Amino acid sequence: MLKTLTVWNFALLEHVQVEFGGGLNILTGETGAGKSILIDALGGILGQRLSGDMIRTGCDWLRIEAVFSFEEVPAELKAFLDSQAIDAGEGQVIVTRQLTRGGRGMVLVNGCHVTLTVLKQLGTLLVDIHGQNENLALLKEASQFSLVDAFLPEVQESLSDYRGIYDEWHSCQQKCREKEQAARENAQRLDMLRWQDKEISEAQLKEGEDEELEAEIRKLSHAEKIATHAEEAYDLFEGGGKSGLGILTAISMVKKHLADISRYDDSLANAQGIVEEVEISLQEAAYELRDYGESLDYSPARLDKLQSRMDHIDKLCRKYGATVAEVLSHQQKVQQELAEIENYDDDMAALKEQLAKLHEEMEQKAAALTKLRQKSADELSRAIGEQLLSLGMPKAIFRIEIGDAGKFTSSGADTVSMFFSANPGETEKPLQKVASGGELSRIALAIKAVAASRDQAIGSMVFDEIDTGIGGRTAQMVAERIALVANFKQVLCITHLPQIACMADQHLYIAKSSVGQSTVTQVRPLSEHERVREIARMASGADLTTASLDNAREMVNHARMKKQQLAHTA
């Protein structure tokens, strides 16, 4: 639930920190005191648009911070936070939003920077704001589908099963379309693919051949220099150098002298061993150098042949890949595409057979989903009708109808429509054609009252101007429905009606005052005594009398008993 909302420099709110409790939080105050501004600030935390003109006059920035606390973080909320690498291990979500007059904004969620898009998605998982826009949203088919599908758990399970098959069917259908489109271009492409495959095959390439050729060409191109160096190096081993004394001969003489010394003194035994090892290693090197020099065979014809082969490979590499390995990889893709084109008829037959099976299975899943939706729609219609009866609409008829869409979509093969009749004898008509603003507001409240006990995903709900255009007995009924919702969720409600205000579990008063040349709005919780006076003011005006105060106390006492009854029936 929403624990605290702190606001700096937002319109009339210079610095306000509001502590909210569980149950029903009522916000009241004089017209223009800033009640809606507080809800607008909360809207900013939920991702709604903020602009520079919302910044308090004389200030360069505004900031809003909300703390949401959970005994156990809802699974959907936790999954979303995890997807954004945001930790909610302490059972808290702290959202901070700041905006400068220059238009620079910042959003933090538990200390992590997020985009406004992410904040909007998060906001839908934290608070459900119920206002006039939400009433209009009720008229959209997508919203009506959501209500029906969420009412019974088995509908969600059936919808998930259906979507699994629908996705397979849609994917298979797309593959068929792609193959049919490709078939129209196949004739010309076949000639090109066959030519490429033939050209690469005739080259008889071997992987790594280009690297081997480059090494051999480099060797043959410098064969004369290599031979000279090898010969001179070998001469140095065997005594062909300028001194006439070869390395091996010199080493042999050193070894003999060390052997003679060892007959009289063994102090140089280690040196003698090293020299013997060196002699063996140098002899091996000399033999290897000799064999290498003898094996050198410089052939201009061989070099020309290798260079010609390398030129042919370079030509293929310029067309199909940077290396022989890439050219061969390209050939594999060509051969695979050739096989697909040449096996087009067989592949299409297999795809169409698979498509038919998936379509049949999808029809069965869709029929099962339709049946469950009809059950959900019937039960939801009855439950909403009972709530409308409690909201002062005893003759109203409300019905949700599941129809045939005539096609398959990701939501099934159904349509959903809401029908309404406010008075006896009137034909039921689509909700958007007959419901007035006040009726639509009460229908929406009835839906919220029905859904509150079933929807555990969102812990907080805001009712903004739910009391517009109602009064008397209807206002009392609306108050009771809001109190019923508050048994299951934390509710924040702005109201001008004493019938609703007296249902509060916590009553917050919003007042506007002038300080010097500026206007400041403050929010504070009311004591029991102050609350009675505020309800009396709302009911009878500013001039409080003993009778108005007694009436207010009676309203509060009656509301307390009514809430106890609602708690037992919830």
Residue 188: band (very low, low, confident or very high) from pLDDT cuts 50, 70, 90: low
> Token pair of 114, please?
């997020």
What pLDDT is recorded for position 113? 94
> Token pair of 343, please?
């096996």
Q: Is 19 exposed, middle or buried (0-12, 13-18, 19+ CB in 10 A)?
A: middle
Mean per-residue pLDDT over the chain, rounded: 86
In this structure, what are the phi and psi dihedrals at residue 517, rounded to the nearest 5 degrees?
-95, 5
Asked if 123 and 217 sit in the same domain, the reply is no
> Which among 508, 525, 542 is the end of a domain?
525
Q: Rounded to whole angstroms, how far apart are CA atoms 546 and 451?
A: 41
Q: How far is CA 380 from CA 60, 450, 454, in A?
A: 50, 8, 12
Asked if 5 and 97 sit in the same domain, the reply is yes
What pLDDT is recorded for position 444? 81
Task: Tell me the mean pLDDT in the region 371-396.
Answer: 89
What pLDDT is recorded for position 432? 75
Torsion of CA 489, 492, 494, 497, to 10 degrees: 40
What pLDDT is recorded for position 379? 93
Residue 436: band (very low, low, confident or very high) from pLDDT cuts 50, 70, 90: low
Asked if 102 and 14 sit in the same domain, the reply is yes
What pLDDT is recorded for position 363? 95
Asked if 2 and 111 sit in the same domain, the reply is yes
Residue 131: band (very low, low, confident or very high) from pLDDT cuts 50, 70, 90: low
What pLDDT is recorded for position 122? 92
Asked if 114 and 217 sit in the same domain, the reply is no
Least confident range of 39-43, 181-185, 499-503, 517-521: 181-185
Residue 428: inside a domain = no
> Which among 275, 298, 322 is the end of a domain?
322
Residue 457: band (very low, low, confident or very high) from pLDDT cuts 50, 70, 90: low
Asked if 120 and 213 sit in the same domain, the reply is no
Q: In what order do the strands lie in the sheet with 92-100?
A: 13-19, 2-10, 61-69, 92-100, 105-109, 112-113
Cβ-based neighbours of 144, under 8 Å, separated by 6 or more: 138, 400, 416, 417, 418
- In the chain, the number of structural domains is 2
Residue with tokens 């959501």: 146
Is residue 465's pLDDT more than 80?
no
- Check: CB of residue 549 under 8 Å from CB of residue 525: no
Residue 7: inside a domain = yes
Q: In what order do the strands lie in the sheet with 490-494?
A: 127-130, 460-464, 490-494, 24-28, 506-515, 518-525
Q: Rounded to whole angstroms, how far apart are CA atoms 152 and 213?
A: 72
Pairing of strands 490-494, 24-28: parallel
Nearest to 19 by CA among 3, 38, 36, 35: 3
Asked if 124 and 238 sit in the same domain, the reply is no
**H helix intervals, 263-343:** 269-295, 300-320, 324-342
Residue 388: inside a domain = no
Residue 384: inside a domain = no
Produce one character per residue of 364-391: b if its CB has 16 or more CB atoms within 10 Å, e if not.
ebbeebbebbebbbeebbebbbebbebb
Give the domain CATH number at 487.
Answer: 3.40.50.300
Task: Tell me the mean pLDDT in the region 118-146.
Answer: 78
Residue 287: band (very low, low, confident or very high) from pLDDT cuts 50, 70, 90: confident
> Token pair of 67, please?
């703390």
Residue 350: inside a domain = no
Least confident range of 263-267, 269-273, 499-503, 515-519: 515-519
- Check: CB of residue 26 under 8 Å from CB of residue 526: no
Asked if 126 and 220 sit in the same domain, the reply is no
What pLDDT is recorded for position 452? 76
More confident of the two residues 529 and 428: 529
Residue 517, amino acid? Q
What pLDDT is recorded for position 41? 92
Asked if 108 and 214 sit in the same domain, the reply is no
Asked if 217 and 121 sit in the same domain, the reply is no
Q: Rounded to whole angstroms, how far apart are CA atoms 125 and 112?
A: 18
Asked if 5 and 125 sit in the same domain, the reply is yes
> Token pair of 275, please?
């020299």
Task: Tell me the mean pLDDT in the region 77-91.
Answer: 88
More confident of the two residues 370 and 496: 370
> Which among 285, 300, 322 is the end of a domain?
322
User: Residue 181, Cβ neighbours under 10 Å: how many?
Assistant: 9
Cβ-based neighbours of 154, under 8 Å, separated by 6 or more: 372
Task: Tell me the mean pLDDT in the region 263-292.
Answer: 87
Torsion of CA 247, 249, 255, 256, to 10 degrees: -160
What pLDDT is recorded for position 389? 84
Is residue 309's pLDDT more than 60?
yes
What pLDDT is recorded for position 355? 93
Residue 454: inside a domain = no
Is residue 423's pLDDT more than 70?
yes
Residue 350: band (very low, low, confident or very high) from pLDDT cuts 50, 70, 90: confident
Task: Tell me the mean pLDDT in the region 350-375.
Answer: 94
What pLDDT is recorded for position 162? 95
The pLDDT tens digits for 206-232 are 888 888 888 888 888 887 788 888 787
The pLDDT tens digits for 32-78 are 767 788 888 999 999 988 988 899 988 999 999 999 998 888 888 88
Residue 253: inside a domain = yes
What pLDDT is recorded for position 514? 77
Residue 328: inside a domain = no
Domain housing 40: 1-131+465-525
Is residue 415's pLDDT more than 90?
yes
Is residue 118's pLDDT more than 70?
yes
More confident of the two residues 364 and 286: 364
